[in-house]
């Protein structure tokens, strides 16, 4: 009869260790995610400026969007963007294009200032 409680105790300890391990793994996951998010700051103005400056007489809006999209996808670590990511990209692209002081939009052509 007195053997039962110690067995339970040792089981609990094992579970305690396992739970601690799981908690550690979860903590590591969140750390990785947090780090991933941190490096996820896509430098829109820098990328836009670099691409636009490559061509003296400007670049077509669609071409620019495709090139930026490639870099954006690489940045977030995706080969293909989901529909949601695509919409997010479109929004950010137009917002940052308007905001970017280094480039100007003339009709469908984007030129360096």
Whether residues 51 and 3 fall in one domain: no
How far apart are the C-alpha atoms of 101 and 112, rounded to whole Å? 9
Distances (CA, A) of 52 to 38, 64, 80, 86, 90: 26, 7, 24, 21, 18
28: pLDDT strictly greater than 50: no
Whether residues 15 and 53 fall in one domain: no
pLDDT at 61: 96
Residues facing 60 on adjacent strands: 109
Q: Which tokens go with 91?
A: 């929004």
Tens of pLDDT, residue by residue over 76-105, are 898 889 999 999 999 999 999 999 999 999
pLDDT at 36: 39
Whether residues 35 and 83 fall in one domain: no
Looking at residue 63, what DSSP letter applies?
H
Rounded to 5°, the CA angle 51-55-57 comes to 130
Whether residues 21 and 50 fall in one domain: no
How far apart are the C-alpha atoms of 63 and 69, rounded to whole Å? 10
Tens of pLDDT, residue by residue over 5-25, are 555 555 555 555 545 454 554
Whether residues 2 and 28 fall in one domain: yes
Domain that holds residue 76: 44-112
pLDDT at 39: 47
Tens of pLDDT, residue by residue over 29-62, are 433 433 334 445 899 999 999 999 998 899 999 9
pLDDT at 99: 93
Whether residues 35 and 50 fall in one domain: no
Q: How many domains does the chain have?
A: 2
Whether residues 68 and 35 fall in one domain: no
Q: Is this prediction's pTM over 0.75?
A: no
pLDDT at 56: 87
Whether residues 54 and 104 fall in one domain: yes
């Amino acid at each position: 009869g007195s053997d039962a409680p110690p067995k339970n105790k040792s089981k609990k300890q094992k579970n305690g260790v396992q739970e601690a391990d799981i908690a550690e793994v979860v903590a590591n996951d969140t750390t990785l995610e947090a780090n991933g998010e941190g490096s996820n700051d896509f430098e829109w103005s820098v990328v836009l400026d670099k691409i636009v400056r490559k061509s003296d007489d400007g670049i077509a809006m669609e071409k620019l969007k495709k090139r930026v999209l490639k870099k954006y996808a690489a940045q977030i670590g995706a080969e293909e963007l989901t529909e949601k990511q695509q919409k997010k990209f479109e929004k950010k692209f137009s917002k940052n294009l308007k905001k970017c002081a280094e480039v100007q939009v003339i009709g469908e052509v984007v030129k360096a200032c």
